[in-house]
Amino acid sequence: MGLPRRLVLVVVAVLATATPLTGQSLAAPVSKPEGVESPAPLSLEEAVRLASERHPLVRAAAGSVRAVRGAAREAAAFPNPIVEWSREGVGGLPTEDRFLTASLPLDLSARRLALRSAVGAETLQARADSAALVRQVEYEAATAYVHAALATELLALETARREALEAIADFDANRLREGAVAEVAAMRARLEADRARLDEAEARAEASRARAELARAIAIPVEDMPPLEPLRSPRTTALDLESALQIAFGSRPELQAARAGVEAARHHLRAERRGVIPEVELIGGIKETAGDRGAVIGMSVPIPLFDRNGGARERASGDRQVAEAVLDDTRARVEAEVVAAYTAYHDLLRALPAERKALGATGEEVARIIEAAYREGGATLVEVLEARRAAAESRASELRWIAQLQLALLDLNLAIGVPLVEP
């Protein structure tokens, strides 16, 4: 009788790394040309920094702050005094009159003071909106990085699987020529290798698309994209839900913008209520007639007979009501986002215990043992193909879990309002 099957598998596992199918490792790395240095890999932190510095929307956000501040200052600016010089009766009368007057509007109701108070709130709102836009740009860059890194890892996985299956196919082709294996078995091995080649091509196309999207997100040319760092499990956060909510309510730029919007709306309503009292315009100057000079004084007062600023007051009251509703909705949305992101992150974190996280390594070890047993006649081709498929799927599941955990942490940090990635 031959040795028990389990014992054969244990013995050939020791020989797996020393007895390649075709004289080389199943997943031998491609050697780099001598004298050619690879660029430093791009990290997640560096991708986020590049996006915050180079993305066109970041410049647009800065310009939006200036535009809003300028518009608010323009609306709250005090009117300039008006100087008028005139001559009457020129050439038609024995004497002519000369006037030099100046008029100065007076804001007796202090309406513009209220508008000037709104400038600060509107500027703060614009800055908060700008900060929210920048965080969104950084978030899109970070998620694009994770997707590109995952696609790159999956491509490497498909390449290794294709090389392993081609090695098996070559091994069976040699055995077929020696008459040691049936033709159908060699055909099956070659068929699986061809399928793996197609899967590799699809993975390469997906990796190219993901890298192009990342290049757009960090505003660099696609051809200048450096390699990416391998996916790694992110650091875990020790925040409890209540602390996360408190931080979010104080630091989310969307809430800051909504609060500033309410403050600006209140100042505008105060200004329009004061607008019931019209502006008074003082007039003063000198007049010269037939060589005699005299002073000119006067006052211009609009009479609020038909227009008592009712439309502006109603509009400002509606704007305040809208701003307060937006603040309540934003607070509820922030709370929902934090709870959802917190729950999703911890569900993913608990899905795979620490002692079971090496799915890919375990699957690869099993595949190597089965392949070594196949070389020694202790396993079938179907078992080899199934083990190789299981190894690839296990590693892919591990990579996708790491990527989803990183994305969940990005969602949580975005919802809380803290930096997206730790330096």
pLDDT in tens, the chain (423 residues): 343 443 333 333 333 333 333 333 333 334 445 555 667 899 999 999 999 999 999 888 889 888 988 888 888 888 888 899 888 877 666 678 888 889 888 887 888 888 888 888 989 999 999 999 999 999 999 999 999 999 999 999 999 989 988 988 898 888 888 887 788 888 888 898 899 999 999 999 999 999 999 999 999 999 999 999 988 888 787 789 999 999 999 999 999 999 999 999 999 899 888 888 888 888 888 988 877 888 889 888 888 888 788 888 899 999 999 999 999 999 999 999 999 999 999 998 888 765 555 666 777 788 888 888 878 877 887 888 888 888 888 888 889 999 999 999 999 999 999 999 875
Q: What is the 3-state secondary structure (H, E, C) of the chain?
A: CCCCHHHHHHHHHHHCCCCCCCCCCCCCCCCCCCCCCCCCCECHHHHHHHHHHHCHHHHHHHHHHHHHHHHHHHHHCCCCCEEEEEEECCCCCCCCEEEEEEEEEECCCCHHHHHHHHHHHHHHHHHHHHHHHHHHHHHHHHHHHHHHHHHHHHHHHHHHHHHHHHHHHHHHHHHHHCCCCCHHHHHHHHHHHHHHHHHHHHHHHHHHHHHHHHHHHCCCCHHHCCCECCCCCCCCCCCCHHHHHHHHHHHCHHHHHHHHHHHHHHHHHHHHHHCCCCCEEEEEEEEEECCEEEEEEEEECCCCCCCCCHHHHHHHHHHHHHHHHHHHHHHHHHHHHHHHHHHHHHHHHHHCCHHHCCHHHHHHHHHHHHHHHHHCCCCCHHHHHHHHHHHHHHHHHHHHHHHHHHHHHHHHHHHHCCCCCCC
What is the CB neighbour count within 10 angstroms for residue 89? Answer: 12
16 part of a folded domain: no
Contacts of 109 (CB under 8 A, 6+ apart): 274, 275, 276, 277, 279
Q: What is the CATH number of the domain that holds 319?
A: 1.20.1600.10
75 part of a folded domain: yes
Residues in the chain: 423
Segments forming the whole domain that contains residue 241 = 43-79+112-276+310-416
Tokens 């004084």 appear where? 297
Buried b (16+ CB within 10 A) or exposed e, 177-211: eeeebeeebbebbbebbeebeebbeebbebbeebb
68 part of a folded domain: yes
At residue 329, the pLDDT reads 97
195 part of a folded domain: yes
Answer for the pair 88, 238: CB distance below 8 angstroms, yes or no.
no
At residue 34, the pLDDT reads 54
At residue 416, the pLDDT reads 95
Q: What is the pTM of this model?
A: 0.78
105 part of a folded domain: no
177 part of a folded domain: yes
169 part of a folded domain: yes
How many domains would you assign to the chain?
Answer: 1
The two three-digit tokens of residue 410, written as one number: 């990005």
